[in-house]
Amino acid sequence: MIYFDNAATSFPKPISVEKAISKSIKFYGGNPGRSGHKMSFVISEKIYSVRDKIANFFNTNPENVVFTSNCTHSLNIAIQGLLKEKKTVLTTNLEHNSVTRPISSFKQKKNLKWTEIDVFEKKDDEIVNAFKNALNDNVCLVVCTHASNVTGQIMPIRSIYKLCKKSGVPFVVDAAQTAGLLPLDLEKDADIICVPGHKGLYGPTGTGALILKDTLPPPLLFGGTGNESLSPTMPLIPPERYEAGTVNTSGILGLGAGISFVESHGVQNMFSHEQSLCNHVIKNLSMYPQITIYQNPVANYVPVVLFNFNGISSSAGTQLLSDKGFALRGGLHCAPSAHSALGTLSDGAIRFAPSAFNNMAQVKAFCNAVRQIISNDLK
Amino acid sequence: MQSDCLYVYVSSVTMAQKSKYILLKHGYRISIERASNGINGCGYRIKIKNKGKNAVALLKKYSVTTHGTSPCESS
């Protein structure tokens, strides 16, 4: 199977990630931050070194890095903690369910105004202007994807953050599709950045991070943190404030190795490599009138290609590709509003998402399989 | 010198590790211990074996929240 579903989770993982996880299970058995014996201190130091690595990667301090189980977990801490009754939340209309469901859940129980800004295939300055016009005294929170997980369209987060800062409104960025592919800087890009560990950072599933500075939502989970145990409440300062229960030590050490892998290649190089693969796919698939590709030259995109075989559903298309040995994701990608904007809500679309491990030979084989499907399976 | 030795209390393992990084980088001799006193039940204390008083100011400069100090116990 040739894997092109890296926007869902990256595969394969670097050998260094495998080794770090294996080493962790074999040798680092202590519970970090809980005990005074050597084994606890050893794993504490290892965990801190990954925290420090992530902090450097996103230009902040180690204590501003909270380990979570995935990007959705991070977004839930931020969104559930910062929404306020009788206030307004702004998002784009390309958000994933990890953003829209926490907001919907709050809205079902409490009075909340939710404005979804239409950013679909808009130019950056139009997007920024739309946010500028929507920001007012009643807005309590702005949540924005850095890049759509459906189309790959990149949002001008730095400019939106400037507006939010000016208005004193917390700005949360969903970096599920961009962490490891585009530079992100906590000082310049957001008050809170939510990242998965298992996609562009090449860590294992079950890892993620909430990266924050002065905007501190209340904790979502409550429990043991290994410190201030006499207090009935969670500690006031991060990261322990948000890390109730034992953290995923093996996963975190794997994530650390994944980030080292990204750093060793360089974020820009990773992007360029994947973009060159996508460019080949776009060039090749554009030749066929039986295929629709969903990209607009006015917008900027991360390296994904969204397309459909005309006349069949995306699930049928991905099944045909799977039968030929290619793993791609069809359907709605947990982002119905993006598909609504795209006009693909009924049948979804097929997402081609490469990683650092894919190469041009695989892409050519994929294009060849597409050609065969058009010749043999479409009428 | 025992008189230069100082325990600095911090509330969390993250602050303890951060302190360790900073202090070692600046040439201090230190070790970390689990502590149950002074930090709302449990936390950590950093044994700073040299120039203890300067170390506290250094940690504050790097935004480490400390929870008091105590002299090292004589061995």
Question: pLDDT averaged over chain A?
Answer: 97
The mean pLDDT value for A60-70 works out to: 98
Are A53 and A79 in contact by the 8 Å Cβ rule? The answer is no
How many beta carbons lie within 10 A of that of residue A187, not counting itself?
Answer: 10
| Residue B74 predicted with pLDDT over 70 | no
How far is Cα A161 from Cα A181, in angstroms, rounded to an integer?
A: 20
Q: What pLDDT is recorded for position B53?
A: 73
User: pLDDT tens digit string along A348-369?
Assistant: 999 999 999 999 999 999 999 9
Single-letter amino acid, residue B10: V
Check CB contact of B16 with chain A, cutoff 8 Å: yes
Which residue of B14, B33, B41 is in closest CB contact with A63? B14
The mean pLDDT value for A227-245 works out to: 95
Q: What pLDDT is recorded for position A351?
A: 98
Number of separate helices (H) and strands (E) present in chain B = 2, 4
Q: Kindly determine whether residue B18 and residue A226, on different chains, have CB atoms separated by under 8 Å.
A: no
The confidence band for A216, taking pLDDT boundaries of 50, 70 and 90, is very high
How many beta carbons lie within 10 A of that of residue A376, not counting itself?
Answer: 8
How far is Cα A312 from Cα B49, in angstroms, rounded to an integer?
A: 72
How far is Cα B42 from Cα B34, in angstroms, rounded to an integer?
A: 8
User: pLDDT tens digit string along A294-323?
Assistant: 998 889 999 999 999 999 999 999 999 999
The confidence band for B1, taking pLDDT boundaries of 50, 70 and 90, is very low
Q: Kindly determine whether residue B40 and residue A36, on different chains, have CB atoms separated by under 8 Å.
A: no
Check CB contact of B24 with chain A, cutoff 8 Å: no
| Residue A41 predicted with pLDDT over 90 | yes
| Residue B75 predicted with pLDDT over 60 | no
Check CB contact of A231 with chain B, cutoff 8 Å: yes
- Least confident range from A113-122, B11-20, B38-47, B57-66: namely B38-47
Q: What pLDDT is recorded for position A378?
A: 85
How far is Cα A175 from Cα B69, in angstroms, rounded to an integer?
A: 41
The confidence band for B42, taking pLDDT boundaries of 50, 70 and 90, is confident
- Which residue of chain A comes nearest to B10, CA vs CA? A227
- Which residue of chain A comes nearest to B35, CA vs CA? A36
Compute the C-alpha angle A280/A285/A291, nearest 5°.
155
| Residue A198 predicted with pLDDT over 70 | yes
The confidence band for B4, taking pLDDT boundaries of 50, 70 and 90, is confident
Q: Kindly determine whether residue A33 and residue B21, on different chains, have CB atoms separated by under 8 Å.
A: no
Check CB contact of B65 with chain A, cutoff 8 Å: yes
Q: Which residues of A touch B23 (CB under 8 A)?
A: none
| Residue A71 predicted with pLDDT over 70 | yes
Compute the C-alpha angle A113/A115/A117, nearest 5°.
175
Strand partners for B44: B10, B34
User: pLDDT tens digit string along B9-22?
Assistant: 999 999 999 999 99
Q: How far, in Å, are A89, A103, A332, B69 from residue A107 at the CA level?
A: 10, 6, 23, 48
Q: What pLDDT is recorded for position A233?
A: 96
The confidence band for B3, taking pLDDT boundaries of 50, 70 and 90, is low
What is the reported pTM?
A: 0.96
Across chain A, where does the E strand assignment appear? Answer: 2-3, 65-68, 87-92, 112-117, 139-145, 171-174, 192-196, 208-212, 291-293, 305-309, 326-327, 350-352
Q: Kindly determine whether residue A231 and residue B18, on different chains, have CB atoms separated by under 8 Å.
A: no
Task: Supply A236's token pair.
Answer: 């006031």
Number of separate helices (H) and strands (E) present in chain A = 12, 12
Q: Helix A124-134 vs helix A157-167: angle between axes, to the nearest 10 degrees?
A: 20
Single-letter amino acid, residue A258: G
The confidence band for A192, taking pLDDT boundaries of 50, 70 and 90, is very high
Task: Supply A233's token pair.
Answer: 């409440």
Q: What pLDDT is recorded for position A234?
A: 96
Q: What pLDDT is recorded for position B39?
A: 75
| Residue B54 predicted with pLDDT over 90 | no
Q: What pLDDT is recorded for position B73?
A: 76
Residue contacts between A and B (CB atoms, under 8 Å):
67
- Least confident range from A6-20, A40-54, B23-37: namely B23-37
| Residue B2 predicted with pLDDT over 70 | no
- Least confident range from A81-85, A204-208, B59-63: namely B59-63
